[in-house]
Structure 1
Amino acid sequence: MAGASLLTLLDDISVILDDVSVMTKVAAKKTAGVLGDDLALNAEQVTGVKASRELPVVWAVAKGSFINKLILVPAALLISTIYPPLVTFLLMCGGLFLAYEGAEKVIHKFWPHILPHDEEQNARRQANADETVDLVAFEKGKIKGAIRTDFILSAEIIVIALGSAAGASLLEKSLVLSIIAIAITVGVYGLVAGIVRMDDVGLHLMKQSGNIKQKVGAFLVSAAPKLMKFLSIAGTLAMFLVGGGILVHGIDFLYHGVENLAHLTGMFESVTTTLLNGLVGLVVGVVMVAILTIIGKIRGKDKDASSAH
């Protein structure tokens, strides 16, 4: 009897683990776009930082990311248990944020005069050039900003993963979210650490004896800046694709409109759906940037008027 109970327990555990494995794979696929964006954004965080400070900055943000996940996973499970519709609302807010961030990046890149100039990069360069500046203290503000951005992206990933586990038991949801949270944090920040040190590895190999080592080193040195640029572009595209996809799935008339248009393209339906999602993300993002810029200018005028009096 005890043996039969043990076998039943083991069978139940096996079924749960199998279900968790399937749901984790689905969640990983659905969050791939945000992961690409997360990777690109975090790789950009150390652009312009002195080589000796790159890994400490990555490690500091990674620790903050783990703390973010420790807060977000229980919070997501609690919200989904108490009031599930709130998860959808938060997901839509995340989609709006991603679309806004993507549009702001594009406008800053091609029409920088439209938006207020971002002095962060210039300040970072000046700090790096000035030996009297305490870089550790200077970087604290930057690290805090990176952790805040990570919190939003992590929330997006957790909510998407939670949506892929809809209908599962609380235990299965907890396991799926925990596995995703740990895997993405280790994976993203491990890759970021590797990317930012790639040029240093290349320089080291170039100094070694042996033609092959030197060629590999030269390739890594030349590839590092190109990879960073590619990640920046890919991250921006991911913002539109993921943000737009979330908004389309959350608004019925948009979802059916995209679905009907994509269906007309036949074998290119999935590609068309992706492109339309990205277009929705771009349009919504540009509209949000315009609205927030106008509000910012109105507030600025009000402050100037009040200070004049």
Structure 2
Amino acid sequence: MSGGLVALLDDVAAIAKLAAASLDDIAAAAGKAGTKAIGIVVDDTAVTPRYVTGFSPDRELPIIWRIAKGSLRNKIVFILPAALLLSQFLPWAITPLLMLGGAYLCYEGAEKLYEAVSGHKEAPDASAAKLTSTAHEQTMVAGAIRTDFILSAEIMAISLADVADQPFFSRAIILILVALAITALVYGLVGLIVKTDDFGLKLAGSGSGVARSIGRGLVKGMPVVMAALSVIGTAAMLWVGGHIIIDGLDKFGVGGPAHFLHDLAVGAGAAVPAAKAVVEWLVDTLGSAVVGVVVGGIIVAVMHVLPRKNKH
């Protein structure tokens, strides 16, 4: 009896260890999958604060919370089931859909470059200013959630492609973890960014000279941070989008761009042995960004430049 109990406890311990190892593997896979989508995360973080511009400080965090809930609903309720069904029954469709999403990222990044160079920016919605504050808030939240849907779909698609070889339930758990972690990361950072101005203003009005200096620094520094986030977000979209296109072409048998970029990165890294890994990453990233600019530039030309010329 005692021996049987000991054997049972040993089996339970072995199962517990196996379960713990599986959870560790799932957590590691979720972390790896999530990092692949970092470019979109940066862009999402840079874009979202504009949706609370003009609202009173006491409404900023509630609005961000509403957008965050909508973002999580996008990922868990709508995108996750579709992604799992797709990976289960039409796995071949993941790569072309991912490439379409990559092309969209290239377009978004190239469009921002085009707007910066040409001065053509999307005009604000004049009707929004005529709405009541409640209706305007609802309009802005709905718009933010719609924009988030596209970015969330890309995040989940990139994550799915990285764990496509996992069992079905592991895939589901990994994608849920990615959805929760990235939503918390993005909207936690957005909340921090949005309230930094208020915190800075409070410090600037306090009695301590050091606190006032820090507060003024925060108030003056936040526009620089937002501008930097915008630039980084644009660069990240071009880099991630270009990389997705190159990787997709390679999977479809068009390996020339991927092999050329790999050889170029390896050669550059060999030329600088002391920083080999960094140089290889930089060359690969810049090469992917160039592809992103080319692909996005073609789409921008088709969507904006050519129609404008035809009107004249």
TMscore range, shorter length:
0.7 to 0.9
Q: Specify every segment of 5 or more residues in structure 1 that has no aligned partner in the other structure, as ranges.
A: 302-309
Gaps of at least 5 residues in structure 2 are 1-6, 251-255, 270-275
- 1:269 is matched with 280
Q: Confirm or deny: 8 A CA contact 1:46 1:54 kept in the other structure.
A: yes
Q: C-alpha separation between the residues in 2 aligned to 1:177 and 1:165?
A: 9
1:181 equivalent in alignment to 2:179: yes
Distance (whole Å) between structure 1 residues aligned to residue 127 and residue 131 of structure 2:
11
TM-score by length of 2: 0.86
Summarize deviations over 1:32-85 as a string: whole Å, max 9, x none: 222111111113333454544433332222121011011212221121111111
Aligned residues: 292
Counterpart CA distance in 1 for 2:16 and 2:292 is 46
8 Å contact 2:265–2:281 — kept in the other structure? yes
Equivalence map 1:51-70=2 (5 Å): 51-70=57-76
Q: Which amino acid aligns with 2:18?
A: D
Matched, 1:228 2:232: no
Does 2:51 match 1:45? yes
Greater mean deviation of Cα atoms: 255-264 or 188-197: 255-264
User: Once the 2 structures are TM-superposed, how far is the Cα of residue 143 of structure 1 from its aligned partner?
Assistant: 2.5
* Pairing 1:284–2:295 present: yes
Q: Within 1, Cα distance between the matches of 2:72 and 2:22?
A: 26
Identity rate of aligned residues, in percent?
38
Q: Which residue of 2 aligns with 1:304?
A: none
Query: 1:16 matched to which residue of 2?
Result: 22
* Number of the residue aligned with 1:260: 263
Distance 1:9 1:300, change over 3 A: farther
Structure 1 position 288, deviation (Å): 0.3
Shift in CA distance, 295/9, structure 1 to aligned 2, threshold 3 Å: farther
What's the secondary structure of 1:98's corresponding residue?
A: helix
Paired residue type of 1:289: V
Cα distance in structure 2, aligned partners of 1:203 and 1:143: 26
| Distance (Å, rounded) in 1 between the aligned partners of 2:291 and 2:238 | 8
Between the aligned partners of 1:148 and 1:254, the Cα distance in structure 2 is: 34
Aligned to 1:202: 200
Structure 1 length-normalised TM: 0.86
SS at match of 1:214: helix
* Deviations 1:97-138, CA, capped at 9 Å, x for gaps: 11101111111122024xxx52217766xx2xxxx7412212
Residue 297 of structure 1 deviates from its aligned partner by 5.0
